[in-house]
């Protein structure tokens, strides 16, 4: 399980951190974000990479979970 915290980062940094984390080809990844744009970009990227994605929202914070 790879876990990332990209809260407070401006685009495209959340996506770049997620892309780097996928270099190890983890079976599961969890990304904590606090931007709707970051959420949308990370979700789309993970889906394109073949992950099944779920998102938990708590106010303005998102926990994005991807698994193969």
Full pLDDT tens readout for the chain, 68 residues: 999 999 999 989 999 999 999 999 999 999 999 999 999 999 999 999 999 999 999 999 999 999 99
In the chain, the number of structural domains is 1
Range of the domain at 57: 2-67
Q: What is the pLDDT of residue 45?
A: 97
Identify the pLDDT of residue 35.
Answer: 95
Assess contact for 61 and 38: CB atoms under 8 A: no
What pLDDT sits at residue 64?
98
Q: Within 10 Å of residue 57's Cβ, how many Cβ atoms? A: 11
Pairwise CA distance, residues 34 & 50, whole Å: 23
Q: Say what the pLDDT of residue 22 is.
A: 96
pTM for the full predicted model: 0.95
Label residue 2 exposed, middle or buried (CB < 10 Å: 0-12, 13-18, 19+): middle
């Amino acid at each position: 399980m790879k876990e990332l915290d990209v809260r407070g980062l401006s685009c495209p940094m959340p996506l770049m951190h997620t892309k780097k984390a996928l270099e190890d080809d983890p079976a599961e990844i969890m990304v904590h974000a606090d931007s709707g744009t970051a959420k949308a970009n990370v979700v789309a990227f993970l889906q394109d990479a073949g992950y099944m994605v779920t998102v938990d929202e708590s106010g303005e914070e998102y926990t994005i979970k991807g698994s193969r």
